[in-house]
């Protein structure tokens, strides 16, 4: 007799089982929704924190003051040398007049500086870095170049950004990993409870010569369906919650200098990750849950 | 075909269920396995269905050596057997037809084969008109017939019936045993574990009697020699 794969049967059985054990199915979906919502909320907070820090990083720069005896040609050559320094993202030339204007803009309330002569200021390069982790090395490399007489850099500020970002990333990663493990455990136990009621059915199948995979497939499909259903519900709930928080933050004008990421910009990856996580948690949870009952 | 050669079975709690059991059942035979409670009958069935393994000795079932059978081979070995239980063990949420259908699906039967085979087997056990009812909608005797149909559906080499009439009245018990005899006459080997003295004596088949894990008699056309113990 040809051994055919009963895919249609497994799907039918998976659906049948969801409805015939409605209460347990409902409990499993609720667990998946709760776990995904918690994980999703933490992840979105982490994404926003990361975005804010990146934005703050982008605005970070240091200044290289140019030897005042340098000619225009030498300045252009020096600019090219700085551009060649590893980790330098951009180099822009700032004349002493521009430097004075910026200075006066920063201190416009202080009339004392209004008549300050241009000669007090020097031509300089404004330099942005790629990776703040290598900020100090980059500053040192630029300082070593001939023609650079001084450096003005807020090294501590850069280090602060790096520390905050690293700590935030570590906390977010740890939380997501822990919550994923907890979710898997809770869902596996929920499905195990559902499976416990059907251990007799599994024993009968095994005694009739069913292989482990024949018994397992309907449960895995059931878990998959529950996981995907939970993921979709969690996604829409996350959308609603995030949008409400977003509106509240915007209305209060909080975090004005760092605008939040709009849900419209991130919904595709959020949906994808939710579906993947829900499907994996559901299918793996079911697979693990029935392992014990297959020992017949 | 069954071979038990010097089989010992000791459970983890120290209970010695079998002590040097030897038994040979050839293809096509009808054998009653009798003995008081605790004599080792259930242990023999568990060994034959690979639910347990022997502590010592050799167990062969339909060409499979169960001493060194690999776990992935066990389902295929079980497909050569049909097992009937005292409490029927039907899946309550499936109709009679579905209870037979899933067993055919296990071996990868096509829808056409199922459509042909299920009505045939249900007719054989006298339940041709009960295909679409659920187990709790039919009597105990009929449920046991469904269990027999399920055991028979994949045309196994051997049927092992563990107290198949234990939950039935005498009239239904006689009907079930007659049905098993009829199936045996069609070529299926039959091993029936029972306490029913009257049935054993009435059918005059080979009777294997065990006590305290040892074989004490093995007679063709034998009689039940022990009172039913409670």
pLDDT band of residue B215 (cuts 50, 70, 90) is: very high
* Set of chain A residues whose Cβ sits within 8 Å of the Cβ of B89: 200, 203-204, 207
State the pLDDT at residue A257: 58
Q: Which domain-ending residue is among A135, A153, A171? A: A153
**A68/A46 same-domain check:** no
**A39/A173 same-domain check:** yes
Residues on chain A bordering chain B, Cβ-to-Cβ distance under 8 angstroms: 1-6, 9, 20, 200-201, 203-211, 214, 296
Residue B217 in this model has a pLDDT that exceeds 70: yes
**Residue A137: CA count within 13 A, CB half-sphere:** 9
State the pLDDT at residue A230: 93
CA B96/CA B81 separation, integer angstroms: 20
Q: Which domain-ending residue is among A130, A153, A176? A: A153
Q: Which domain-ending residue is among A133, A153, A173? A: A153
Q: Which of B75, B100, B111, B113 is the mutation pick for testing A, counting most A CBs within 10 A?
A: B75
CATH of the domain at A148: 3.30.70.3040
Per the structure, the complete domain to which residue A247 belongs is given by 7-56+161-294
Q: Which of B107, B113, B116 is the mutation pick for testing A, counting most A CBs within 10 A?
A: B107
**A189/A118 same-domain check:** no
Please report whether residue A1 resides in a domain.
no
* B108·A1 Cβ contact <8 A: yes
Residue-range domains of chain B with CATH:
1-80+157-230 (3.40.50.300), 90-155 (no CATH)
* A20·B93 Cβ contact <8 A: yes
* ipTM confidence: 0.87
**A35/A132 same-domain check:** no
Of A9, A203, A204, the CB nearest to B105: A9
Mean pLDDT confidence for A21-48:
84
> For chain A, what is the domain count?
2
**A140/A170 same-domain check:** no
**A167/A214 same-domain check:** yes
**A38/A173 same-domain check:** yes
The nearest CA of chain B is from the CA of A12 a distance in Å of 12
Size of interface A-B (CB pairs under 8 A): 55
**Chain A contact for B87 (CB, 8 A cutoff):** no
**A267/A283 same-domain check:** yes
The nearest CA of chain B is from the CA of A15 a distance in Å of 14
* A210·B106 Cβ contact <8 A: yes
CB–CB of A21/A199 below 8 Å? no
State the pLDDT at residue B75: 95
Among residues A143, A145, A188, which one has the least CA distance to residue A287? Answer: A188
Please report whether residue A250 resides in a domain.
yes
* Set of chain B residues whose Cβ sits within 8 Å of the Cβ of A204: 89-91
**A273/A171 same-domain check:** yes
User: What's the pLDDT tens digit per position in A222-268?
Assistant: 889 999 999 999 999 999 999 998 888 877 765 555 678 888 888 99
CA B93/CA B164 separation, integer angstroms: 22
**Residue B184: CA count within 13 A, CB half-sphere:** 23
pLDDT band of residue B2 (cuts 50, 70, 90) is: very high
**A78/A210 same-domain check:** no
pTM for the structure as a whole: 0.70
Please report whether residue A113 resides in a domain.
yes
The nearest CA of chain A is from the CA of B101 a distance in Å of 11
**Residue A234: CA count within 13 A, CB half-sphere:** 30
Among residues B104, B103, B102, B94, which one has the least CA distance to residue B135? Answer: B94
User: What's the pLDDT tens digit per position in B144-164?
Assistant: 999 999 999 999 999 999 999
């Amino acid at each position: 007799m040809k051994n055919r794969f009963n895919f249609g049967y497994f799907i039918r059985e998976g659906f049948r089982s969801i409805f015939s054990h409605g209460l347990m199915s409902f409990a499993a979906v609720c667990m998946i929704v709760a776990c995904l919502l918690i994980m999703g909320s933490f992840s979105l907070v982490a994404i926003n924190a990361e975005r804010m820090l990146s934005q703050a990083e982008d605005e970070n720069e240091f200044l290289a003051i140019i030897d005042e005896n340098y000619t225009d040609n030498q300045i252009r050559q020096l600019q090219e040398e700085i551009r060649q320094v590893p980790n330098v993202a951009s180099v822009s030339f700032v004349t002493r007049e521009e430097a004075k204007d910026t200075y006066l803009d920063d201190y416009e309330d202080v009339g004392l500086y209004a008549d300050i002569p241009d000669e007090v200021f020097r031509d300089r390069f404004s330099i942005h870095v790629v990776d703040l982790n290598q900020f100090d090395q980059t500053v040192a490399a630029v300082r070593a170049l001939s023609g650079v007489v001084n450096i003005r850099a807020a090294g501590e500020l850069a280090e602060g950004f790096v520390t905050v970002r690293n700590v935030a990333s570590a906390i977010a990663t740890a939380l997501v990993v822990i919550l994923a493990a907890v979710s898997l455990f809770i869902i596996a136990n929920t499905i195990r409870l559902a499976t416990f009621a059907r251990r007799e059915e599994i024993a009968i199948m095994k005694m009739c010569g069913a292989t482990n995979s024949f018994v397992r497939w309907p449960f895995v499909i059931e878990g998959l369906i529950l996981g995907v259903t939970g993921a979709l519900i969690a996604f829409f709930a996350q959308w609603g919650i995030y949008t409400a928080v977003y509106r509240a933050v915007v209305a209060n004008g909080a975090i004005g200098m760092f605008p939040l990421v709009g849900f419209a910009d991130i919904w595709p990856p959020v949906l994808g990750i939710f579906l993947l996580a829900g499907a994996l948690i559901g299918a793996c949870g079911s697979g693990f849950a029935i392992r014990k009952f297959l020992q017949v | 075909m069954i071979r038990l050669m010097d089989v010992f079975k000791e459970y983890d709690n120290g209970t010695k269920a079998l002590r040097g059991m030897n038994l040979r059942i050839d293809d096509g035979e009808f054998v009653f396995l009798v003995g008081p409670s605790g004599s080792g009958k259930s242990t023999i069935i568990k060994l034959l269905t690979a639910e347990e393994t022997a502590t010592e000795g050799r167990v062969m079932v339909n060409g499979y050596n169960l001493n060194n059978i690999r776990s992935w081979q066990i389902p295929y070995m079980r497909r050569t057997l049909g097992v009937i239980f005292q409490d029927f063990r039907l899946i309550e949420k499936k109709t009679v037809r579905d209870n037979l259908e899933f067993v055919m699906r296990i071996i990868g039967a096509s829808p056409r084969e199922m459509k042909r085979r299920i009505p045939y087997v249900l007719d054989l056990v006298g339940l041709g008109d009960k295909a679409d009812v659920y187990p709790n909608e039919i009597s105990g005797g009929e449920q046991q017939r469904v269990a027999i149909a399920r055991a028979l559906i994949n045309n196994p080499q051997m049927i092992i019936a563990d107290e198949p009439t234990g939950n039935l009245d005498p009239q239904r018990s006689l009907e079930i045993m007659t049905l098993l005899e009829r199936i045996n006459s069609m070529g299926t080997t039959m091993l029936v574990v029972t306490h029913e003295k009257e049935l054993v004596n009435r059918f005059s088949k080979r009777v294997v009697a065990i006590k305290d894990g040892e074989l004490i008699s093995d007679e063709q056309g034998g009689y039940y020699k022990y009172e039913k113990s409670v």
